[in-house]
Amino acid sequence: MSTLPENELDLEKLFLPAWAQEPASAKHYATYEGGQEKADRRERRGSRGPRREGGFGDRPRGNRPPGERRGPGPGREGGRGKPFGKGRREGGQYEQRERRETPPPLPEVNVALAPEEKGVESLARQIKVTARAYPLFDIARLILQKPERYTVHFSVKKNAEGKAIQPLFLCALDDTLWVSEDEAIAHVLNKHFATFYQAERTATEPPKGKYTFVAQCGMSGVILGPPNYHDYQNQLRRLHAERFSRMPFENFKSRVKIVSDEAVVKKWIEEKSFKTEYIALNVPEALRLDSREAVEKHFRETHKENIVKQVESHRLNGLAARNLRSPGLTWLVRQASEDQKRFPLQLATTLSQQFASHGLQFFKVNKTVTHVSVARPHYLDLETTPVSEGVRRIVDFINAHTKTTRRKLMEALAPTPMVPKLAVDISPAGVEAAPQQPPQPEPSPEPSPEQTAVIADLHWLIHQGHVIEFADGRLETAKKPAPKPPKPDKKPAEKPADAAATGEAPATAEVAATGEATPTPTEAAPAAIESAASAQAEVPAETSAPAAPAATEPAQPSPDLLSVAEDVAAAGEKPASESAPAPVEEPSEKVSETPAASTEPQNS
């Protein structure tokens, strides 16, 4: 028998098969004796009478000639029976059966189930100790099996104006919840009446007149009095409100019976011969009240504000929520519990948040079943990650043997050493001992150093997420994640305008490098002289610093300068032609080499 409280779970036992959860001493067929059922069948068969001779084909047909069919019987029209769901036939018509009254609508209140805090702490502690992976939804279903393992949270629904659609009222004496103030007050006066009032009976005159019968409740046996008595209706409604409020009043009224027994009538007269007064307690001044109506009025004026309070939300444990006396709230709790048992999504979501606060991790197996464990799966690449030989052996063994367990792993990598058993001679002195067989070795009770090393390596692998140990004991390694597909380029292709702009750049760079446009014939001579004079001054600057438009093709000013010099020589200025080419040709060579020298490193 388990010694754990009801709100705690033992995951080691609950996730075992059904046959493994039963105690070893259970013997279901210990007292079974075969052959008893067969003997009983023979006796029952022998008690039957002899079979009718001839079978079904030789039944007597009476005076009906053969070949004539039987006509419609009484109560049939055209050979058909009465319609389904109808009552008795009266006057050629079928009366409809009385339908049951539709139940009242459920109150518009939010009901949410959540695991009990102490139980969640116990579960998180077990998961951390065992380091196993448990299905989250299976744990949620185990919690729903007993109401002590979860709590129920009630909260009001509000409309667009922010007002509660269905208010909730709390009784401060026993922490019960109600949907109306009248229900809460009736509950206090029924269950905690002695806390506020004391009933006192005093003798009075019996009712006058002769009564031969009285009305009595058929369920509780309370005598209500004659139906023509002036206080009969008050007594009837008071009994319904106090003890049978869940039943419709008309149904309760139909259970009242008329009794003509003299003893019952005499008992009612004796009860009416005494007057009951109610003394108010816990008040500064003594006060006597003559009826229950006066008691309820006094309670509303004096104690209601402190005992019955309106709340927007309240939390109860599962057992207290199931035992609520408010019919609407009881149905809501039952409906929420049944919905969660079919698919505990809400409870599992809350449970995952509570487990996360205790440091546990979550992952999905094959993208379907959510598990909770001490670590998420993390693939271990043995080719790129340096690990010890023991860790490599464990990973290789698990990959090679599917559905292996911790025991199989230990037997394969570090078997238990056998210790020889010492033989003890217990024969008496002087008597030759009988020859004994050599003792068989027994497994060592303490783990060997090899087993300790394997356990330590497996513990590290599990807590790092490289190996997963499931609730049923299976060991699996974390799978290699699939490569992610490359992301498409977000920027579109260059526009034609950008291409045109880039196409004009070399021309602009060439103009900037030469410093001038194509010369006209009238401006050729001055341009040649000015360029020839400034060529020597510009060459050192270009050689020391690389040209700005390095990405474009290098400018070639040498052919332009030579053509200009030829035009000047053709003009007939012989002294200038003899002296001008000398300084012009020298800079042309230097200028033509300079862009080449500046562009070679950039191309390379």
pLDDT bucket at 101, cuts 50 / 70 / 90: low
- For the cut 80, the answer to whether the pLDDT of residue 324 exceeds it is yes
pLDDT band at residue 206 under the 50/70/90 scheme: confident
Do 282 and 318 fall into the same domain? no
Mean pLDDT value across residues 58-65? 52
Write the pLDDT tens digit of every residue in 157-205.
999 999 999 999 999 999 999 999 999 999 999 899 999 999 988 888 8
482, 508, 533 — which closes off a domain? Answer: 482
pLDDT tens-digit series, residues 406-425: 999 999 998 887 766 555 55
Specify whether 182 is located in the same domain as 280. yes
Give Cβ neighbours of residue 548 (< 8 Å, ≥ 6 apart): 512
Q: How do 274-280 and 288-289 pair as beta strands?
A: antiparallel
Q: Dihedral of CA 193/197/200/201: which sign?
A: negative
**What are the backbone angles phi and psi of residue 348, rounded to the nearest 5°?**
-65, -35
- 230 lies in which domain range? 172-302
Higher pLDDT, 103 or 146: 146
Token pair, residue 86, equals 């109808």
Per-residue CA distances from 24 to 1, 11, 472 (Å): 12, 19, 20
Indicate whether 567 and 535 sit together in one domain. Answer: yes
Q: Is residue 27 part of a domain?
A: no
pLDDT band of residue 441 (cuts 50, 70, 90) is low
Domain-embedded: residue 82: no
The answer to whether 457 touches 394, Cβ cutoff 8 Å, is yes
Q: Which helix (H) or strand (E) holds 280?
A: strand 274-280
Task: Identify the residue whose tokens are 């109560």.
Answer: 75
Six token digits for residue 282? 């816990």
**DSSP at 523:** T
20 within some domain: no
If asked whether residues 384 and 414 sit together in one domain, one would say yes
Q: Is the dihedral of CA 424, 426, 432, 434 positive or negative?
A: negative
Same structural domain, 391 and 411: yes
Please check whether residues 176 and 280 belong to one and the same domain: yes
417 lies in the same domain as 447: yes
- Cα separation, 382 vs 395, in Å, equals 9
Local confidence band at 524 (pLDDT 50, 70, 90 cut-offs)? very low
Q: Identify whether residues 132 and 244 lie together within a single domain.
A: no
Q: What is the pTM of this model?
A: 0.57
The predicted-structure confidence for 112-121, as pLDDT tens digits, reads as follows 999 999 999 9
Query: Pairing mode, if any, of strands 288-289 and 308-311?
Result: unpaired
pLDDT per residue over 367-405, tens digit each? 899 999 999 999 999 999 999 999 999 999 999 999 999
405: CATH: 1.10.10
Q: Is the pLDDT of residue 344 over 60?
A: yes
Please answer whether residues 468 and 478 qualify as being in contact, where contact means their C-beta atoms are separated by less than 8 angstroms: yes
Task: Assess whether 547 and 575 both reside in one domain.
Answer: yes
Q: Do residues 9 and 142 touch, judged by C-beta distance below 8 A?
A: yes
How far is 144 from 114, CA to CA, in rounded Å? 10
At residue 38, what are phi and psi to the nearest 5 degrees? -65, -40
Return the minimum-mean-pLDDT range out of 110-124, 297-311, 481-495: 481-495
pLDDT of residue 314: 95
374 and 361 in contact (C-beta within 8 Å)? yes
Q: Cα separation of 290 and 595, whole Å?
A: 122
Any idea which residue has 């690389």 for tokens?
546
Same domain, 222 and 267: yes
Mean pLDDT of 502-518: 42
Report, in angstroms and rounded to the nearest whole number, the Rg of the chain calculated over CA atoms. 52
- Please give the share of the chain, as a percent, with pLDDT higher than 90: 41
For the record, the structure tokens of 314 come out as 């309240």
Query: Which pLDDT belongs to residue 488?
Result: 79
Q: Is residue 321 within 8 Å of 333, Cβ to Cβ?
A: yes
Domain assignment of residue 552, yes or no: yes
| Counted domains in the chain | 4
Does 21 reside within a domain? no
CA 16, 144, 172, 280 dihedral sign is negative
Helix (H, G, I), strand (E, B) or coil at 314: strand
Cβ contacts of 439 within 8 Å, gap of 6 or more: 420, 421, 422, 423
Calculate the alpha carbon distances from 35 to 28, 204, 363 in Å. Answer: 17, 75, 55
- Domain shared by 457 and 577, yes or no: no
Among residues of the chain, what percentage have pLDDT more than 70? 59
Same domain for 278 and 247? yes
Q: Quick check: 51 pLDDT over 60?
A: no
Average pLDDT score over residue span 303-321: 94
136: Cβ contacts below 8 Å, ≥ 6 apart: 348, 351, 352, 355, 362, 370, 371, 372
Of 101-105, 194-198, 560-564, minimum mean pLDDT range: 560-564
